[in-house]
Amino acid sequence: PSIGVVVVAAGSGTRLGRATPKAFVEVAGRSILSWAMDSVRGISEPIELVVVVPAALVEAARSQLASLGLPFAAVAGGTTRQQSVQAGLSVLGDGVDVVLVHDAARPFTPVEVFERVIAAVRSTGSGVIPGQPVIDTIKGVDRSGLVLETVDRSRLTAVQTPQGFPRAQLAEAYERAVEDVTDDAALVQQLGGSVSVVAGDPLSFKITTPHDLEHAEELAARTAG
């Protein structure tokens, strides 16, 4: 059996505000998508890799990633992340028994996080997501900005990717999915599947805003230098 790794990179990056779709924006001379492959290639178990990119950039992704020496399939995504994940899942081969879904927008995720998620999916036989403690104090507010409550931080975890699932569990969740949700674990839970959290990593931060891109440039400079 092998691990299916679906890297979703088909978003436009509205909040980043560049003309180029986010995964194709460069950090220190390489696309975010290309950086994201560094940890994927370190996974010790056999993997089947699918990258999901904007339809117009499928060929560009193929040529850009060809030099990495890592076999992969590139397919076109959809208008929502959920549709993009589904496009990736649909091309996985029969030998895949565990699936990881990862955001290309988290290009510096350490390989240890991938390994931790894989191990926990195997030991629990259910969904596993990496999470980080919430650092800020979180308040619940109403529409006018009036503070209603202080949320108990110890009950919260900030969720990252890769999110891992037994293949059958994720496939069923996607087959029966109704609502459009932003993460795969929520779909699995809608069907009553259990999902547990393992330690994430600060390096798994998502590049969302121009400030995040600056942070990425600093990290990349350190990695290269």
Nearer to ligand CTP, 109 or 169 (CB): 109
Which two structure tokens, joined as six digits, stand for 75? 């397919």
Q: What is residue 165's three-state secondary structure?
A: strand
* Identified binder of ligand CTP from the candidate list 3, 6, 13, 118, rule CB under 6 A: 13
Q: Where are the alpha helices (DSSP H) in 14-138?
A: 32-40, 58-65, 81-89, 111-124
Q: Is 23 in the site for ligand CTP (CB under 6 A)?
A: yes
Binding residues for ligand CTP restricted to 91-110, rule: CB under 6 A: 103-105
Q: Are 117 and 196 in contact (CB under 8 A)?
A: no
114-153 residues near ligand CTP, rule: CB under 6 A: none
Does the protein bind ligand CTP through residue 39 (CB under 6 A)? no
Choices 14-22, 42-50, 126-134, 196-204 (CB under 6 A): range interacting with ligand CTP:
14-22
Q: Hey, how many other C-beta atoms are within 10 angstroms of the C-beta on 75?
A: 18
Identity at 129, one-letter amino acid code: I
Q: Is there a contact between 158 and 123 (Cβ–Cβ < 8 Å)? A: no
- Closest residue to ligand CTP, Cβ-based? 11
User: Which positions lie near ligand CTP, rule CB under 6 A?
Assistant: 8-15, 22-23, 52, 77-81, 84, 103-105, 206, 208
